[in-house]
Amino acid sequence: MFDIEYNSQSKKFLKGLDKNIVGRILNKLEQIRENPFRYLEHYEGKGYKLRIEDYRALIDIDFERKTFLLGLSAKEGESTRDNFIKFLSFGFE
């Protein structure tokens, strides 16, 4: 089973959402911990994306530590590519 790490942008993003939406996002993230590649789609170059209703989670995986690095969630229609580039450049705290 994989662990999940959130960077500060992801935490801030989730705090700004309605509690029902946050609950659905967290439930989906729990599902991928056990069987990640059933849900994750490979994203251009490095990383993966996960569709959660109208939102996208951009994920990097540290296979050695068995950890998902959740960088940023973007609402569908926003520039997922730009958000993913920001995610890779900010890294994790």
State residue 92's pLDDT score. Answer: 42
State residue 46's pLDDT score. Answer: 73
What angle do helix axes 8-15 and 80-90 make, rounded to 10 degrees?
130
**How is the chain split into domains, by residue range?**
3-90
Check pLDDT > 60 for residue 27: yes
Return the CATH number of 3-90, one of 3.30.420.10, 3.30.2310.20, 3.40.50.720, 1.10.3720.10.
3.30.2310.20
Report how far apart, in Å, the C-alpha atoms of 73 and of each of 9, 50, 64, 65, 78 are.
9, 9, 24, 22, 10
Q: For residue range 38-83, what is the model confidence (pLDDT) as tens digits?
A: 889 887 767 888 888 778 788 888 888 888 887 655 565 555 555 5
